[in-house]
Amino acid sequence: MKQPPQGHGIVIHVLMKKPKPSPEDDAPKEPGPSGLLGPVLNFLKKPGDKPVKEKPPEEETQDEPSEEPDEEENSETEQEGEQETEGKSEKIKRDAFIYLNGTSRDFAQCGSCWLFVPEKQRCSILGPKVEVDADDSCCFYMKGKPVKGLPIVARVSIEEAGFVERKVRCENCFYGGGGDCQLYVELNEKFPDMFDLDTSITSKSCCNAQIPKQK
């Protein structure tokens, strides 16, 4: 008897040897085992039979750990938001210019200010050395009848008070004369992150940004 071929030839010899038919061969069988025997069983199947497919190895699924919010990160985010809010300053309003509504033709002049001492032509806060007329003005203007007996003391200098010898109402201003202050309009347009000014004015009103009209 011939010896079967050695090595891989043993498998070939076994596969080429036809087994004797048995009644069980005609009965339907469940798919054979998978793994390394899958290719061998597919070789033994009759033509037209579906090959036995190897089942892919089941992947081990691991439950991903749920990401819990980090309290420290949340705290840092909240602090950053607060810092951004704090870093944004409020916009400048018209009150920064001490805008005063007026209706009379002597409004904003020293003659209608309660700090004026008409009999001595002095201002109670500019001191005895500064002569003041009724048609002068300064940034400390406050409408009211002059009060008799006010002490005249130099509390501020004329430079600090913004003292001027001219009319200072909106009708006399370079930026006034209409229904809107052109200075306020320009500041709002050029610096929208800085200014939020009410631009509406009246001719007899005034503010501390008043500039005389060009002659």
Least reliable range by pLDDT among 12-21, 57-66, 143-152: 12-21
> Are 126 and 158 contacting, i.e. CB atoms less than 8 angstroms apart?
yes
> Which stretch of DSSP H or E encloses residue 123?
strand 122-123
201-210: pLDDT as tens digits:
999 999 999 9
Q: What is the DSSP string of 133-199?
A: -TT-B-TT--BSPPPTT----B-S-HHHHT-BSS--SGGGBTT-SSSB-HHHHHHHHH-TTTB----
Mean pLDDT value across residues 117-134 = 97
When pLDDT is cut at 50, 70 and 90, the band that residue 26 belongs to is low
Report the pLDDT value the prediction gives residue 215, as an integer from 0 to 100: 75
Whether the pLDDT of residue 117 is over 70: the answer is: yes
Instruction: Work out the number of other CB atoms within 10 angstroms of the CB of residue 78.
Output: 10
